[in-house]
Structure 1
Amino acid sequence: EGTRLSVPLRCACPSKTQQAAGFRYLLSYLITWGDDVPTIAARFRVDLQDVLRANTLASGDTIYPFTTLLVPLSAEPTKADLSSQPPPPPPAQPPSPDTPSGGGGGSGKRWVFVGVGIAVGASLLLGTALLWFFCCRRRRQSPKAEGQKSAAEYEPWSASMTVSSSFSGKVGNVLDALSVYTFGDLEKATGSFSEDHHIRGSVYRAVINGDAAAVKRLKGDVSNEINILKQINHSNVVRLSGFCLHEGNTYLVYEFAEKGSLSDWIHHRAKGWEGSCLDWKQRVRVACDVANGLNYLHNYANPPYIHKDLKSSNILLDNGFMAKVANFGLARSVEDGEGVQLTRHVVGTQGYMAPEYIEHGLITPKLDIFAFGVVLLELLSGKEAVYSKAGPPKTECLLSGSIGEVLGAEDVREKLKIFMDPCLRDEYPFDLAFAMAQLAMGCVEQDPNSRPAVGEVLVSLSALYSSSLDWDSSDAPRSDSMVRARGELVGTRLPLSTTS
């Protein structure tokens, strides 16, 4: 029998606003190296702002190869639009009017020109080589910029440090990819790690070269996280910019997420920001962002990675509420041809760990899918992964186990309304909330083979987000009838027999 290959395709339909603007199609364009949004918009003869709005992008946002971009079109694309044609060659220069057309004299002059050209080319090549040599020599002799050192001058492996002796070998090859900071520079950036700069735990806010950053202090061997993050470049994965070793501690310098962690917003209600309750569209957007980051880690990173510690406190939000997956201390790579991985060292957070990992130490990408399902349930309910159920008696419950009781009940509509985060009130589309709950329940299935792959999850969430963009609070009374009209977003139709 042949091998079955599942290829997830991003599919979306024009929103009501796009339809009103005359757009009938949304083309899923696969981004490749060298592409940018203005070039893609020009290729399909579409206004740049229409493409930005279709993808909730801002002007100047970075797009990444091997991801997709939605291009709104008023008519089906032609074969000429879809074919990738190389740029036309520059037009040939016309011959000089005074160039002889033939004869021995013309041939002789032509050889003179060839000789002169070769001499000039050799002179330019020699001059370039000499210039490069003197620049490199001058650079070696010039003092280094304050706060950073080159790999050759940096001495993190001295005997006075208490880090493991194998650390230098593991992380030595990343020195050229990351900035290496001195401890004094980080002290200055964090106000000597003052309480005013303290975020939580061992994380501090810093200002380095005028840019905000987060500095995290860690003990022990952190080479795994450094080696992973220095290879990853994705908008939904937190970026590591540098590190410092000092007195046995490793200080990792990350991009700064202005809005903090997702758990702050859905559990503790973020302090200091107005409207600290995430609305429905923000929650679905966060879910899409996290799924996009996981999809990159599982399917496009080389080698692929399993995060192993996905939870709401390891999901950070930037100033525009874009979600970024963080904390790769437990992550593990999946090499080509490598099958099931087993471990005796089961580490994680209660409520997020999949049953096959707890019982057998089984590590597969479905481990992250289970944890992601729990995060979806947190976004829906506002509850923590392990929460206290009102008694008597007062008991602790797993959020992953409660959704089956909600969706399996006869009065599923009332049960789901009670399950939803009270912070949302009734300002959410009930049919889409049900579809998201169904997706979450599939992600937390006990059998890992019954859970969807991250590509399927991303496709379902993209459809949910596209539908959510069309929704506003005035649509709430019509939400029940929309269930039949929208069809099956995740393969299951909402039961309509309810109690009033």
Structure 2
Amino acid sequence: MTLRLAEAVTITALLLIIAGPETTAALGSASTIAVSPSSSTVCAVVAAAGDSPRSIRCTLPNSTFSFPILPNASFQSLSGGDRFLCGLRSAGPEPGSTFFCWTSDNLIRKRVYSGPVTLSDLTVGADHVAAFDANGSAVRFWRGDGSFPAAVTGIYRSLTSGNGFTCGIDGVSKAVRCWGRSGGRIETAFANTSMSYISAGGSHVCGLDAAGALVCRGDNSSGQSNAPNAGLGFSGLALGGAHTCAIRESDKSVLCWGGAGTGGEFKPVNDTQFELLAAGGDMTCGVTTLNFSVVCWRADPSNLSVRVLPLPKVLPGICVKQEESKCSCGVFPDSASLCSGSGVICSSCPSPSPKVPSPAPAQAAKKSTSKLRLVSAIVGGVGIFVGVCSIIYCLWTGLCRQKKVYNSVQPTITAAGNGLPNPPVRRSPMNSPSGSRSRIFGRQGSRVMRRQRSGPSSFKDRAEQFSLSELAAATENFKPENKIGAGSFGTVYKGKLPDGREVAIKRSGSETKTRKIQDKESAFQSELAFLSRLHHKHLVGLVGFCDEEEERLLVYDYMKNGALYDHLHSSKHPDSRVVKSWKTRIRVLLDASRGIEYLHNYAVPPIIHRDIKSSNILLDANWVARVSDFGLSLMGPDSKGDHLTMRAAGTVGYMDPEYYGLHHLTEKSDVYGLGVVMLEVLTGKRAIFRSRDTEDGHGGDPVSVVDYAVPSIVAGEVAKVLDERAGAVGPSEAEAVELVAYTAVHCVSLEGKERPSMTDIVSNLESALALCEDSHGSISSASFSLASFD
């Protein structure tokens, strides 16, 4: 089915079948996120997204954008049922006394409840709704099949709903009490068990007992009730139709069990940390600790499919009024800001530590001796290791020799140099092996073999070392009129050397903050190290450097025609070849892709640029494009498919969602950035632009060029988003532009494994350029074929 943009953003025209009887989250079904078991639609309460704070936004399967659900109001919590979604209001004249529901057979929102009693912990089962009175004196029910009472008085907590039942924990006896047609079976299964909290799935319930042990009862057809050993502590649960996932207290990683395949235990997202989880059907989603992005996966360890959703920052917990909340385990960091100044988020309490039998005296003595030997071995090994590392470091940095050499070096970018908390860690891929590649990327063997390959050049001239006075003279003492731009941690000036060469000189600015100084030093060392050993027609050339006292300067070949960004988005070049010609635009993309392909495939070791964007693609006097600014670049993993784990860095609008959300950096992160540049070239829009164009550029809400262009391209309406300044598209150009557009769509896929390699991209862009130059019509379908997006 083809999804058009207008259909996606018009909420009243959408059939929402949100969440299901399996929906649940940590500490009960009331949450800030809900998952649809049938449509895989995910909705969440967001901190802010250009809408009212704490509004609800949703995203469709495989979509690259999200949309709001009306009313555009502030909500406290969210929960889903088989055929409807409900959200509890958190603002207005009577906060907590109104909740709205959206159904599949009635797209007009309905205010289901409004009265003198305020509510909390709203939960939705298959066909019913339950909630606490805010004072905790009763549980109230709506809808259902008649098996639920209107209300049940008593003090309860940890309210949760499943398929035909709602359960809570008695505040006095800590026994599980359940209601509804299936409630008796669940309650009986928990007889004589004191619980601290529970969470429900389709037909099973899990939770922690009073001693901190994980207990599951109910359906176990797929191993979803086979709780892991009692030695593991958990802080949150999410139960689907036939699986269970939990957040481990020790490191906040996720462990799942049950579901498809073996039904055993598996870790779906390596060691990524999460704050809360929600599940629906065979799908589980979590809010990450790092930046509150949403990551989802299927409950099938043999065929994991992990994706980062295009949702704004999601609340990591339910906001409650500070004066009303006890927050016995403290307040979540920065929760007042996350809750827009109207409440806080309580931190989850650690579960009681499960009791582990103490070792016998003889065993204890044996363990003590073993530990002493182990410590001695470790100390000795560390001493040897430190000594060897010191010698290597001394030789590499030149501390043992007085001469600096920046030619054909193998740079090591340290964690400290990049402001990272830990060094990059190499991990195996988080996903299963990718499936068959889309047919759009058919390799052209003969053309690939013919293309000139420039590997790392051992004959590259050594970078020249300049004095500060020489470079000051070249730029007329860094005259403001000679400023031509800025790169990572530096201002760029045009200069002229005594021998007549025109150069671009990047000078690091003076900073007082230690972190900024470290960042600039790292960027300087990174660019100097990488460019000293790289030589390619489509990479900016390094002429020399200056390392004098506190000054750090780099000297590059001068790029007469400036940055691609300026041609596309400023008024400096209204009639340039880039603005007026589709052929030139495609040639620039091809040049840039060849430069990146060299970094990924022919540099040894491979290099990940990390900041591919239109302002880092420069044009020389002959309109040849070169990739610039290696201040954030890193050496890539040793083998294809591996990733580096590190804090995200780059430019908003160009950053890979997997890298931003999961800290998984791969070569495909550069592919995503190039895909955004392709969409910029096609549309003439900035990576992030305002939805209404005004003279001052401040009209409307921020929109990404991905969200703007991809739906139209997928719907086969490429012409709808093309930049009119390039003029009408001729017959052969139309096919070329279409190929570039479909290639861009694949490049900005949410999952890195679905993105093409740089070699595939180069082949497609070569085909597109050949179409522009070929007067005989289309290239044979053997060269490429367009993928179906239906």
The secondary structure found in structure 2 opposite 1:250 is: strand
Q: 1:367 to 1:494 in 2, by over 3 A?
A: closer
TM-aligned CA deviation for residue 306 of structure 1: 0.5
Q: Within 2, Cα distance between the matches of 1:353 and 1:275?
A: 28
TM-aligned CA deviation for residue 461 of structure 1: 0.8
Q: Within 2, Cα distance between the matches of 1:408 and 1:338?
A: 29
Alignment counterpart, residue 447 of structure 1, candidates 728, 751, 766: 751
In structure 1, what is the equivalent of residue 198 of structure 2? none
In structure 2, what is the equivalent of residue 262 of structure 1? 564
Letter in 1 for 2:664: L
In structure 1, what is the equivalent of residue 736 of structure 2? 432
Q: Quick check: 1:205–1:215 contact (8 Å CA) kept in 2?
A: yes
Q: Quick check: 1:269–1:277 contact (8 Å CA) kept in 2?
A: no
Q: 1:489 to 1:258 in 2, by over 3 A?
A: same
Greater relative contact order, per chain length (Cα 8 Å cut-off, separation 6+): 1
In structure 1, what is the equivalent of residue 712 of structure 2? 406
Q: Does residue 206 in structure 1 map to residue 495 in structure 2? A: yes
Decide which structure has greater strand share.
2
The secondary structure found in structure 1 opposite 2:673 is: helix
Letter in 2 for 1:270: K
Deviations 1:463-492 (A, max 9, x none): 111111125xxx9xxxxxx67x75376431
Q: Within 2, Cα distance between the matches of 1:397 and 1:272?
A: 24
Letter in 1 for 2:761: V
In structure 1, what is the equivalent of residue 521 of structure 2? 220
In structure 1, what is the equivalent of residue 86 of structure 2? none
In structure 2, what is the equivalent of residue 177 of structure 1? 462
Alignment counterpart, residue 674 of structure 2, candidates 372, 375, 383: 372
Q: 1:176 to 1:451 in 2, by over 3 A?
A: closer
Q: Does residue 397 in structure 1 map to residue 691 in structure 2? A: no
TM-aligned CA deviation for residue 215 of structure 1: 0.2
Q: Within 1, Cα distance between the matches of 2:461 and 2:736?
A: 47
Q: 1:461 to 1:176 in 2, by over 3 A?
A: closer
Q: Does residue 195 in structure 1 map to residue 496 in structure 2? A: no
Q: 1:335 to 1:494 in 2, by over 3 A?
A: closer
Q: Within 2, Cα distance between the matches of 1:332 and 1:7?
A: 29
Of 263-272 and 313-322, more deviation after overlay is shown by 263-272
TM-aligned CA deviation for residue 402 of structure 1: 2.7
Q: Quick check: 2:644–2:666 contact (8 Å CA) kept in 1?
A: no
The secondary structure found in structure 1 opposite 2:538 is: coil
Q: Does residue 487 in structure 1 map to residue 777 in structure 2? A: no
Q: 1:336 to 1:417 in 2, by over 3 A?
A: closer
In structure 2, what is the equivalent of residue 361 of structure 1? 663
In structure 2, what is the equivalent of residue 153 of structure 1? none
Letter in 2 for 1:487: S
Q: Quick check: 1:270–1:276 contact (8 Å CA) kept in 2?
A: no
Structure 2 alignment gaps of length 5 or more: 1-435, 509-519
Aligned counterparts, 1:104-143, within 5 A: none
Letter in 2 for 1:328: F
Q: 1:424 to 1:366 in 2, by over 3 A?
A: same
Q: Quick check: 1:263–1:312 contact (8 Å CA) kept in 2?
A: yes
Q: Within 1, Cα distance between the matches of 2:762 and 2:461?
A: 34
In structure 2, what is the equivalent of residue 307 of structure 1? 609
Letter in 2 for 1:395: D
Decide which structure has greater helix share.
1
Q: Quick check: 1:487–1:493 contact (8 Å CA) kept in 2?
A: no
Q: Within 1, Cα distance between the matches of 2:531 and 2:455?
A: 18
Q: Within 2, Cα distance between the matches of 1:274 and 1:380?
A: 16
Q: Within 2, Cα distance between the matches of 1:28 and 1:301?
A: 18
In structure 1, what is the equivalent of residue 584 of structure 2? 282
Q: Quick check: 1:190–1:205 contact (8 Å CA) kept in 2?
A: yes
TM-aligned CA deviation for residue 391 of structure 1: 9.1
Letter in 2 for 1:394: G
Q: Within 2, Cα distance between the matches of 1:319 and 1:391?
A: 32
Q: Does residue 468 in structure 1 map to residue 772 in structure 2? A: yes
The TM-score normalised by the length of structure 1 is 0.60
Q: Quick check: 2:442–2:760 contact (8 Å CA) kept in 1?
A: no
Deviations 1:142-179 (A, max 9, x none): xxxxxxxxxxxxxxxxxxxxxxxxxxxxxxxxx99211
Q: 1:387 to 1:274 in 2, by over 3 A?
A: closer
Letter in 2 for 1:440: A
The secondary structure found in structure 2 opposite 1:242 is: strand
The secondary structure found in structure 2 opposite 1:245 is: strand
Q: 1:293 to 1:192 in 2, by over 3 A?
A: same
Letter in 2 for 1:191: E
Deviations 1:341-366 (A, max 9, x none): 34442111111001101111111000
Letter in 2 for 1:402: Y
The secondary structure found in structure 1 opposite 2:539 is: coil
Q: 1:205 to 1:365 in 2, by over 3 A?
A: same
The secondary structure found in structure 1 opposite 2:595 is: helix
Q: Within 2, Cα distance between the matches of 1:11 and 1:421?
A: 33
Aligned counterparts, 1:61-100, within 5 A: 64=454
TM-aligned CA deviation for residue 300 of structure 1: 0.5
Q: Quick check: 2:588–2:624 contact (8 Å CA) kept in 1?
A: yes
Q: Within 1, Cα distance between the matches of 2:577 and 2:674?
A: 25
In structure 2, what is the equivalent of residue 458 of structure 1? 762
The secondary structure found in structure 2 opposite 1:186 is: helix
Structure 1 alignment gaps of length 5 or more: 13-26, 32-62, 68-174, 476-481, 496-500
Q: Quick check: 1:380–1:437 contact (8 Å CA) kept in 2?
A: yes
Total equivalences in the alignment = 326
The secondary structure found in structure 1 opposite 2:579 is: coil
Q: Quick check: 1:381–1:420 contact (8 Å CA) kept in 2?
A: yes
Q: Within 2, Cα distance between the matches of 1:417 and 1:308?
A: 31
TM-aligned CA deviation for residue 447 of structure 1: 1.1
Deviations 1:64-112 (A, max 9, x none): 4699xxxxxxxxxxxxxxxxxxxxxxxxxxxxxxxxxxxxxxxxxxxxx
Q: Within 2, Cα distance between the matches of 1:489 and 1:262?
A: 29
Letter in 2 for 1:349: T
Letter in 2 for 1:253: V
**Root-mean-square deviation (CA), in Å?**
3.2
Q: Quick check: 1:269–1:276 contact (8 Å CA) kept in 2?
A: no
Q: Within 2, Cα distance between the matches of 1:408 and 1:303?
A: 36
Q: Does residue 297 in structure 1 map to residue 587 in structure 2? A: no
Q: 1:430 to 1:494 in 2, by over 3 A?
A: farther
Q: Does residue 317 in structure 1 map to residue 614 in structure 2? A: no
TM-aligned CA deviation for residue 270 of structure 1: 3.2
Q: Quick check: 1:11–1:463 contact (8 Å CA) kept in 2?
A: no
Q: Within 1, Cα distance between the matches of 2:680 and 2:581?
A: 13
Q: Within 2, Cα distance between the matches of 1:427 and 1:282?
A: 13
Q: 1:212 to 1:391 in 2, by over 3 A?
A: closer
